[in-house]
Structure 1
Amino acid sequence: MAGLIPFNRKRNDLMNIGFDDFSNMLDDFFTGSWPVQRSLAADTFKIDIQDNDTEYIIEAELPGVKKEDVEITLNEGRLNLSVKKEEVSEDKSKKFIHRERRYAQMSRSILLADSNDEGIQAKLEEGVLTIKVPKKEQVDTSKRIMIE
């Protein structure tokens, strides 16, 4: 174990200090994840699920996402949330040498076994998507049997 060398670093011996070590230190600093930033390109969206007596309430954090970029489907009790976000800047008056575009796609799937596919409500407000999924009415099929 003592002989293992971390990726992109050299041994820290006194005889082995040079320009390459300084370069590796700069690479580690600029490619690290500090400060921690969350984006659709590098992370999935977070969800909270509440189970009430009559419905499920799902809240998903979608900062910077428009409602046109969100697709919600419910199929056989499985709620699928998918987000597709594409950022393209068009400016034809400038002569570009280098131009970048971003495209991010992610989805989450939640099993809501007793969900009713009628009456689902969804609202996107201030970066939070709130979905209300009603539950199917529970029919008590158990019979009480009296012993003689």
Structure 2
Amino acid sequence: MRANPFEDLEEMLDRMSQQVEDGMTGLSPSVPVDLRETDGGFVAVVDLPGYDADDIDLTVTDRQLRVDAERDTDVELEAGDDGDDGGDHDGDHTVRYVRRERTRESVSRSVRLPDPVDEDGVEATLEEGVLTVTLPRRHDEEGRTIEIDD
């Protein structure tokens, strides 16, 4: 277990960042993410039900993991239909919703990582709506000596 005197501060900043991000995307719930530490780095598990691998963009930088997912709706509006009649058209049938809450088509989530990761070694799999991202810890090279000119 690492002793990090700033761990509580980093967790607070992560929570504040997520609250700001949630506020920018409306009242939609955030994407649940579990981040666990392993001997070699970290494993992030992200719930993305209903998304295919092609719908997901995964970005990893030094100490941040970002997941963006966007999917098409099942029902498409016909050309010229602005939806003012309260229904969508699916082929020859008009679909009228009594209640429609599943209109969110995209989600986004950023997670700050406790340590730098090796971006080239990141691996990701999507199985049954669960994205698993393996993030190997980066082992920094030793510093170099800098000569000082007189």
Q: TM-score over 0.5 for the alignment?
A: yes
The percentage of counterpart residues that share the same residue type is: 25
Report if the CA contact (8 A) 2:62-2:116 is conserved: no
Q: How does 1:97-116 map to 2 (within 5 A)?
A: 98=96, 102-112=103-113, 113-116=115-118
Structure 2 residue aligned with 1:55, among 38, 41, 65? 41
Deviation at 1:140, TM superposition (A): 6.5
**Unaligned residue ranges in structure 2 (runs of 5+):** 1-26, 77-89, 144-150
Query: Could you say what secondary structure the match of 1:42 adopts?
Result: coil
Structure 1 residue aligned with 2:120, among 105, 118, 121? 118
Count of aligned positions: 100
**Unaligned residue ranges in structure 1 (runs of 5+):** 1-40, 142-148
What residue number does 1:16 align with? none
User: 1:121 and 1:97, CA in 2 relative to 1: closer, same or farther beyond 3 A?
Assistant: closer
Once the two structures are superposed, residues 49-87 of structure 1 have per-residue CA deviations (whole angstroms, 9 ceiling, x without a partner) of: 111121210001112221122110013322111122331
Counterparts of 2:95 and 2:71 in 1: how far apart (Å)?
24
Q: Which structure exhibits the higher relative contact order, with contacts defined as CA atoms closer than 8 Å and separated by 6 or more residues?
A: 2
TM-score after normalising by structure 1? 0.56
Counterparts of 1:53 and 1:74 in 2: how far apart (Å)?
19
Report if the CA contact (8 A) 1:70-1:82 is conserved: yes
User: 1:62 and 1:140, CA in 2 relative to 1: closer, same or farther beyond 3 A?
Assistant: same
What residue number does 2:129 align with? 127
Counterparts of 2:133 and 2:95 in 1: how far apart (Å)?
44
Counterparts of 1:118 and 1:124 in 2: how far apart (Å)?
19
Report if the CA contact (8 A) 2:69-2:107 is conserved: yes
Deviation at 1:135, TM superposition (A): 1.0
User: 1:140 and 1:87, CA in 2 relative to 1: closer, same or farther beyond 3 A?
Assistant: same
CA RMSD of aligned residues (A): 2.6
Report if the CA contact (8 A) 1:88-1:102 is conserved: no
Structure 1 runs (4+) deviating above 6 angstroms are: none
User: 1:52 and 1:136, CA in 2 relative to 1: closer, same or farther beyond 3 A?
Assistant: same
